[in-house]
Structures are given as structure tokens and as C-alpha cells.
Amino acid sequence: MIIVEGHVRLPNAEAIKDLLPAATAQIAASKTEGACLDYTYAIDVLDPCLVRVLEKWDSWEGLEAHFRKPHMTPWREALASVKFEERSLRAHDVGETRDV
């Protein structure tokens, strides 16, 4: 399993209102991809300018195909329109998962 985790820092807490329609569409479209196991964005409880990202993919190939999907274009444009301040995403190849 491939896990993508990270965050996007918005310029202010109000920016999420401008991103919400595009974020909703992005999540819905991504979840229909066959390789997508889960796809979520969440506002950090202690920092409303921080959007946490968590994605789960069945393979590197599935994740790479995701980047080429047509629904990525409006999402990238929406992020650029709010002039996000920081973006940090990392992908991890997970060999074992355990309940904790």
C-alpha cells in the first residue's frame, strides 16, 4: 500500500471556503479511481490554515496514474488561486499495517 501524507498551508482560515467546492470534487473523483483506497483532507484542529492530506493507494502505478487524471487540473488551479503558502506531501510504501 502507498500512503500519501502531508499538508497544504493556506494564507488564512477563510481560504478554505474558496477551496471547498474544488476540494469536494477532487475527493469524490479520486475515490472513484480503482487504485484509490482512501482520500481525505482535514482542517487541523489547532491551526485552521493547515489542511492535512491523507491518501491510500494500492500501488505506485495507481498513484502515478492519479496525477494524470483530468480532475487534477481544476484542483491545482483552485489551490493556486488561493495562493497557498506551503505544500508538503510525501508518499510511503507500507509493507505492514497493524492496529494500534
Our count of domains for the chain comes to 1
pLDDT for res 33: 98
pLDDT for res 10: 95
Considering the domain boundaries, does residue 49 fall inside one?
A: yes
Rounded Cα distance, 46 and 50, in Å: 9
Considering the domain boundaries, does residue 87 fall inside one?
A: yes
Rounded Cα distance, 16 and 23, in Å: 9
- Expressed as residue numbers, the domain containing 87 is 2-93
Considering the domain boundaries, does residue 7 fall inside one?
A: yes
Considering the domain boundaries, does residue 100 fall inside one?
A: no
Report the CATH number that the domain containing residue 51 is assigned in CATH. 3.30.70.100
**Tens of pLDDT, residues 7-40:** 999 999 999 999 999 999 999 999 999 999 999 9
Considering the domain boundaries, does residue 65 fall inside one?
A: yes
**Tens of pLDDT, residues 39-90:** 999 999 999 999 999 999 999 999 999 999 999 999 999 989 998 899 999 9
Considering the domain boundaries, does residue 72 fall inside one?
A: yes
Considering the domain boundaries, does residue 24 fall inside one?
A: yes
pLDDT for res 67: 97
Rounded Cα distance, 54 and 13, in Å: 20
Considering the domain boundaries, does residue 53 fall inside one?
A: yes
